[in-house]
Structure 1
Amino acid sequence: MWGRWRMGALLLVAVVLFLPLLISVSELHRRKVIGWNSVVGNGIAFSNEVSGKAGNKRKLDHLLFGPAAGQGLSDRLHCQGLKALNQTRRSIPSESCDACESVSFVAVFTLYNSSETETSDRLTVGNVSYDKSERSIAILHAYIDFIQVSMPTSNVVILTDPAASFQIMKENTSILPIKGDYSRGNLMLQRITSYIEFLEKKLSERAERINHFIFTDSDIAVVDDLGHIFVDYPNFHVALTFRNNKNQPINSGFIAVRGTREGIRRGKLFLQMVLEVYTSKYMRASRMLGDQLALAWIMKSLLSLDGKEFSKPKIFMADLQRTSILFLPCALYNWTPPEGAGQFHGMPLDIKIVHFKGSRKRLMLEAWNFFNSSANLPDMLCLILLSGRTKYDF
């Protein structure tokens, strides 16, 4: 009898202790129905779940907000919900003039024939529903839109397969077909080849003024003027972005080439070297990462950079066979939103580029929609900073 009474008392104590926890979990689950535009002060919110066949959940296609990393650090963005508490540090763009040097962004893009499954697998971002091809075009549009906001006098050139069928109706934007193999398994290799052919075309032209080139992936958002790098560092031919990554210290999503004749020539020679290393050593990775493995090999074997130079986000320069290379930290010039455990140091106030690589591409569209409705860049950066902690299905 005594034993039964003691067991009952223990169960009662357990219920009293754990009931608040159960209520908290229930409340967190309930809040999955609120949208990203109703984020509360603690920075946790969810949009609606999307179910697949038989009610099973697919990979998450919603924004999942978490705490804003970098709180308390003076050089990091601070957020309360989707409200920025401090201002980002913006570069002062050069005055526009006919004789001034200009900047063009160059990206490789093509479309692939979608299967019936991909066409029927539609997803909605904001008020727009996309199939896979439409999503790709929407991301390309957002890429151009961000450039036109941050660097309105710049041009955008899209290098593509002559057989590709798409149009871009944007100001200061052109499509340049370049022959090659744009199949999925060869696209990264073709990207380097297309860059080389583009620079060859520029060498054959007689330019009236200097036009610098920044080759990028099409899933980046330019959030500050980048023209300053060509002014502040007048002696480089090629600029790359680096990170503290032993096997792949260079991210190939950003390659800048000075627009002088010598800069273009040096840029072409450097890319030809990358292509040669790529095809001779890393063809097994031709679908993905082969260019970055080739760049890593060049850094270690030809430049003798042992990794210490990449461990701290400090700008530095090095010479490779008379080609002067400027190394810019990814932390500023190629910052990637956290995913999963992510980055714990937050977003720098003087960030220049946000790279929505991999599964983060939906977040790029969400960010542009948010900016388009608010016209507030720091608040949009808070959306990016608080998001990115889940895998999307783009």
Structure 2
Amino acid sequence: MMRAPGGWRRFLILLPILCFLPYFFSVRELHQSTTIGDLPTKRTKFDHLVLGPAAGQGLPNRLQCQGSKALNKTKFSTSSQVPNFGEKIEFVTVFTIYNSTISVRADEKASNLVTVGNVSYSKEERSMAILNTFVNFIQVTMPQSNLVILTDPASDFSISRNGVTVYPIQGEYSRDKLMLQRIRSYIAFLETRLREVSRRPEHVNHYIFTDSDIAVVDDLGHIFHDFPNFHLALTFRNNKDQPLNSGFIAVRGTVDGISRAKNFLQKVLEVYKSKYINASRMLGDQLALAWVVKSHPSFDIRRFSKAQAFVEDVGGASVLFLPCAIYNWTPPEGAGQFHGMPLDVKVVHFKGSRKRLMLESWNFFSSSSDISDMLCLVLMSGRTKYDF
């Protein structure tokens, strides 16, 4: 058999790389391919979006994209399409600003600036930009909803937005204790709402407790109508050690719903303090959630292997388990299997270093006004590490 010339062999080896290169480009240069020097290197965080091929191509019930255009756009619901039963939804998040009393030199401050689009942010300004973007998405997809920000009374920040209330709650908001304090703040907030609804049982507000680095991309009001018998809702994934994510907790705003949800979270808090206090900076709340649920005698953990909603009684509360794939979808980082984005995704969670992607996504949506196209941008950017 004749051997192919050496040049041809080198060309065939390089061919897959050459075919792949055009998929990497900045969001500011959507129609230009990059050079080899722009390609990601291991553990590099980028100061601009780097787009690659959209995962899930050809798979059923997954978003299909051609560039930044969605090919199978879903008709996302709006508040006007969701039945109105006189019940409102309040989003609740915990947020604080860590103010430094140490003066920072001008050159050090400049080196910490991060630019997204035409705006440069300091560390504190980044946090506020994320919070404002969180509010923006809610006000687009659920304009009739209100937002409550639970915070440290000593935290020095202000936000003037319609439908947004800052609610100080005393506690320990240091970085090392923030996840522990978050559960305490949720419980304290529910106690105040329990007193209010006990006086006015006909006045029902449902509550969705979330991280502030999420984008609500579809109306969530249907949860309380489609599943009428749950007290609180959690999101789950097929993960043996951390099957539950604490970034999304829904509570039915009735006396029974608030009371049982509060009692459930108090059990989680007790387990957190007794078993996982060494993980108080992060993950401890999720480990405690999983322990409370999995320790219930009748609970079958195999139900977490299928991305289908189900209701189970746990510790005196009726708990609705919602799949993260729809209600808490996170763009994966780095290697690993990735099967794309479900067409009916309702919440995108920009964890960790995906914060730039959240801001860039809002900027893209502001210019396009198309949720589906924006989700293509997220899908094509989701496996890259960014700078904050």
Alignment TM-score, normalising by the size of structure 1? 0.87
Say which SS state the counterpart of residue 336 (structure 1) adopts: coil
The match for 1:90 is: 76
The match for 1:171 is: 162
Amino acid at match of 1:182: Y
Largest Rg, 1 or 2 = 1
Q: CA shift at 1:65, angstroms?
A: 1.5
Alignment of 1:126-275 (within 5 A): 126-205=117-196, 206-207=199-200, 209-275=203-269
Deviations along 1:194-223, one digit per CA (max 9) or x if unpaired, are: 000000111122445210000000000000
Say which SS state the counterpart of residue 247 (structure 2) adopts: strand
Say which SS state the counterpart of residue 318 (structure 2) adopts: strand
Say which SS state the counterpart of residue 327 (structure 1) adopts: strand
Amino acid at match of 2:356: R
Alignment gaps of 5+ in structure 1: 1-9, 50-56
Please give the alpha-carbon distance, in whole angstroms, between the structure 2 residues aligned to 1:284 and 1:19.
54
Please give the alpha-carbon distance, in whole angstroms, between the structure 1 residues aligned to 2:301 and 2:172.
34
Q: CA shift at 1:391, angstroms?
A: 1.2
Deviations along 1:30-64, one digit per CA (max 9) or x if unpaired, are: 997x53244359xx769997xxxxxxx96323222
Please give the alpha-carbon distance, in whole angstroms, between the structure 2 residues aligned to 1:135 and 1:99.
38
The match for 2:291 is: 297
1:366 and 2:365 correspond: no
**Native 8 Å contact 1:89 1:349 kept in 2:** no
Amino acid at match of 1:329: P
Please give the alpha-carbon distance, in whole angstroms, between the structure 2 residues aligned to 1:140 and 1:177.
16
**Native 8 Å contact 2:293 2:314 kept in 1:** no
Q: 1:350 to 1:268 in 2, by over 3 A?
A: same
The match for 1:18 is: 10
Of stretches 120-129 and 325-334 in structure 1, the one that deviates more from structure 2 is 120-129
Please give the alpha-carbon distance, in whole angstroms, between the structure 2 residues aligned to 1:382 and 1:254.
23
1:335 and 2:325 correspond: no
Please give the alpha-carbon distance, in whole angstroms, between the structure 1 residues aligned to 2:169 and 2:309.
34
**Native 8 Å contact 1:77 1:349 kept in 2:** yes
Say which SS state the counterpart of residue 159 (structure 1) adopts: strand
Of stretches 179-188 and 299-308 in structure 1, the one that deviates more from structure 2 is 299-308
1:283 and 2:270 correspond: no
Of stretches 282-291 and 338-347 in structure 1, the one that deviates more from structure 2 is 338-347
1:379 and 2:367 correspond: no
Please give the alpha-carbon distance, in whole angstroms, between the structure 2 residues aligned to 1:386 and 1:274.
36
Deviations along 1:226-270, one digit per CA (max 9) or x if unpaired, are: 000101111000000000000111000000000011111111111
Q: 1:150 to 1:303 in 2, by over 3 A?
A: farther
Q: 1:277 to 1:351 in 2, by over 3 A?
A: same
Amino acid at match of 1:270: F
Please give the alpha-carbon distance, in whole angstroms, between the structure 1 residues aligned to 2:78 and 2:247.
24
Please give the alpha-carbon distance, in whole angstroms, between the structure 2 residues aligned to 1:184 and 1:344.
31
**Native 8 Å contact 1:46 1:62 kept in 2:** no
The match for 1:7 is: none
Please give the alpha-carbon distance, in whole angstroms, between the structure 2 residues aligned to 1:113 and 1:78.
43
**Native 8 Å contact 2:26 2:51 kept in 1:** no
Say which SS state the counterpart of residue 373 (structure 2) adopts: helix
**Native 8 Å contact 1:68 1:386 kept in 2:** yes
Alignment gaps of 5+ in structure 2: none
Amino acid at match of 1:312: K
Superposed CA RMSD in Å reads: 2.8
Total equivalences in the alignment: 375
Q: CA shift at 1:181, angstroms?
A: 0.4
Alignment TM-score, normalising by the size of structure 2? 0.89
The match for 1:64 is: 50
Please give the alpha-carbon distance, in whole angstroms, between the structure 2 residues aligned to 1:31 and 1:111.
38
Q: 1:135 to 1:26 in 2, by over 3 A?
A: same
2:92 pairs with one of 70, 81, 106: 106
The match for 2:112 is: 121
Runs of 4+ aligned structure 1 residues displaced above 4 Å come to: 19-32, 44-49, 94-99
Q: CA shift at 1:381, angstroms?
A: 0.2
1:346 pairs with one of 334, 340, 343: 340
Taking every aligned residue pair, what percent have the same amino acid on both sides?
61
